[in-house]
């Protein structure tokens, strides 16, 4: 089995999830380098996950120059994305990149261009696409059994101060762009492409707090090209330290209630006199599945489930929602 020489760029809180899976899949991945602007973070990761064997860098340019790699796992905060995708692409290094891939559309499409013209494999960290219940519904949609798509509503509730950078709109993009983009992407995955969006975004609970400039309450309405409607409502003023993300999907022949991407109750409504119910309950680790899908694409070819172009498209929709909230107008998508 091919073992991919892997580096992790950005060794903060979330990168632990990927590091754990990379170590658990040691037959496939060899963690050989860690990079963080804070050297102590990279060194801590090297110690914890490789017993100090891996190399440590504070600048990803030096990492790419000095280390032959097959894969870079990029866990940078939104504001810190620069030319790391271009650096990887120039050397034929495949990437797993966390969302949001950038803070502007122009930056995102520059990354897509670099990756696609180099022909590297890319996966964006929208792991909910790998949830067992999402996979089941997606299969029913693709086979035609679900019938036409009507509505998807989704909730994202939390109440946490997050990192300093997260609370600043210019560094994170806001709750929708940084966090609820998971739902934006999932909606695109299920419902197709959007043609317009309208969003209300307000800071109601944290407006007395210095440097908290992102929204903490929002409602977003999406008009999909196939005629379907999307509703996303989010808050960072809900139950302290609880993350709640659930969704409802109505198609012509199925009404689905998801408590998360792995758990759903599907009611088949095609025969109204004979309703049938299917429960999906799985504990699959969708972060691991996302990584293994990338490994398969690197070793066997084909595309990943969420190539970087998908990251750019979901970012465009989230940014359009942010523009809509600013302008108080419907924003059309090209
Ligand atoms: N997929 C998910 O479920 C999920 C969950 C949480 C976070 N994330 C994403 O992961 C990314 C990181 O989030 P986090 O919570 O780990 O943030 P964090 O602030 O905990 O960690 C970021 C790390 O990047 C380092 N860094 C900053 N600039 C750098 C640079 N130029 N080069 C190298 N390192 C640099 C920081 O020093 C820090 O150690 C974000 O984009 C976030 O949205 C994804």
For 242, phi then psi, to 5°, come to -115, 135
CA distance 271 to 273: 5
Residue length, the chain?
Answer: 334
179-232: pLDDT as tens digits = 999 999 999 999 999 999 999 999 999 999 999 999 999 999 999 999 999 999
**The domain at 4-127+289-304 falls in which architecture?**
3-Layer(aba) Sandwich (3.40)
Domain 129-282+315-332 has CATH 3.30.365.10: no
Reference 189, options 232, 134, 248; nearest CA is 134
Q: Give residue ranges with CB within 6 A of ligand 1.
A: 9-15, 35-38, 41, 60, 75-78, 80, 98-99, 125, 127, 163, 178
CA distance 252 to 270: 7
Residue of 76, 177, 182, 318 to test ligand 1 pocket, by largest number of atoms within 8 Å of CB:
76
Q: What is the pLDDT of residue 165?
A: 98
Residue of 48, 75, 108, 175 to test ligand 1 pocket, by largest number of atoms within 8 Å of CB:
75
Reference 18, options 78, 82, 75, 76; nearest CA is 75
H/E element, 220: strand 217-224
Confidence tier at 334 by pLDDT (50, 70, 90)? confident
CA of 155 to the centre of ligand 1 (A): 24
43-99: pLDDT as tens digits = 999 999 999 999 999 999 999 999 999 999 999 999 999 999 999 999 999 999 999
Percent of the chain's residues with pLDDT above 90: 99
Specify the residue with its C-alpha closest to ligand 1, atom 33.
Answer: 36
Atom of ligand 1 nearest to the CA of 78: 41
310-325: pLDDT as tens digits = 999 999 999 999 999 9
Selected residue with higher pLDDT from 56 and 241: 56
Strands 217-224 and 194-202, sheet pairing: antiparallel
274-304: pLDDT as tens digits = 999 999 999 999 999 999 999 999 999 999 9
CA of 176 to the centre of ligand 1 (A): 17
Q: What is the pLDDT of residue 86?
A: 98
Do 36 and 7 touch, CB atoms closer than 8 A?
no
Reference 179, options 109, 115, 243; nearest CA is 243
- The label of the residue with tokens 């198609």 reads 251
For 264, other C-beta atoms within 10 Å of its C-beta total 25
Confidence tier at 29 by pLDDT (50, 70, 90)? very high
CA of 205 to the centre of ligand 1 (A): 25
Atom of ligand 1 nearest to the CA of 42: 39
Specify the residue with its C-alpha closest to ligand 1, atom 1.
Answer: 125
Looking at the chain, which residues constitute the CATH 3.40.50.720 domain(s)?
4-127+289-304
Structure tokens at 249: 């999907």
Q: Is 283 exposed, middle or buried (0-12, 13-18, 19+ CB in 10 A)?
A: exposed
CA of 246 to the centre of ligand 1 (A): 24
Looking at the chain, which residues constitute the CATH 3.30.360.10 domain(s)?
129-282+315-332
Structure tokens at 279: 């429960």
Do 198 and 221 touch, CB atoms closer than 8 A?
yes
Specify the residue with its C-alpha closest to ligand 1, atom 29.
Answer: 37
Q: What is the pLDDT of residue 216?
A: 98
Atom of ligand 1 nearest to the CA of 35: 33
Percent of the chain's residues with pLDDT above 70: 100
H/E element, 22: helix 15-24
What residues contact residue 157 under an 8 Å CB cut-off, 6+ apart? 234, 235, 238, 239, 242, 243, 244, 245
3-state DSSP call for residue 87? Answer: helix
- The label of the residue with tokens 């908290």 reads 212
For 265, phi then psi, to 5°, come to -120, 120
Specify the residue with its C-alpha closest to ligand 1, atom 25.
Answer: 10
CA distance 21 to 309: 24
CA of 12 to the centre of ligand 1 (A): 5
């Amino acid at each position: 089995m091919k073992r991919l020489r892997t580096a992790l760029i950005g060794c903060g809180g979330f990168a632990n999830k990927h590091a754990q899976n990379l170590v658990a899949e040691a037959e496939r991945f060899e963690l050989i380098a860690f990079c963080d602007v804070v050297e102590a973070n990279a060194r801590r990761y090297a110690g914890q996950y490789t017993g100090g064997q891996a190399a440590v860098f504070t600048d990803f340019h030096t990492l790419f120059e000095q280390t032959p790699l097959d894969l870079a796992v990029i866990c940078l905060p939104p504001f810190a994305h620069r030319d790391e995708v271009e650096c990887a692409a120039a050397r034929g290094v495949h990437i797993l990149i966390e969302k949001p891939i950038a803070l502007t559309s122009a930056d995102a499409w520059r990354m897509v261009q670099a990756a696609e013209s180099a022909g590297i494999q890319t996966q964006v960290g929208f792991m909910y696409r790998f949830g067992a219940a999402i996979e089941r519904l997606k299969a029913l949609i693709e086979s035609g059994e679900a019938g036409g798509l009507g509505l998807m509503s989704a909730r994202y509730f939390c109440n946490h101060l997050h990192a300093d950078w997260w609370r600043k709109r210019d560094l994170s993009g806001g709750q929708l762009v940084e966090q609820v983009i998971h739902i934006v992407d999932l909606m695109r995955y299920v419902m197709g492409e959007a043609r317009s969006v309208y969003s209300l975004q307000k800071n109601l609970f944290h407006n007395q707090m210095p440097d908290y400039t992102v929204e903490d309450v929002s409602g977003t309405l999406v008009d999909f090209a196939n005629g379907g409607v999307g509703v996303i409502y989010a808050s960072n003023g809900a139950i302290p330290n609880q993350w709640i993300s659930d969704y409802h999907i109505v198609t012509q022949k199925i009404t689905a209630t998801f408590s998360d991407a792995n758990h759903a109750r599907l009611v088949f409504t095609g025969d109204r006199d004979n309703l049938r119910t299917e429960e999906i309950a799985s504990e699959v680790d969708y972060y691991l599945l996302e990584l293994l899908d990338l490994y398969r694409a690197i070793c066997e070819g084909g595309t990943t489930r969420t190539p970087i172009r998908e990251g750019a498209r979901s970012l465009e929709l989230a940014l359009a929602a942010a523009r809509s909230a600013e302008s108080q107008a419907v924003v059309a998508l090209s």
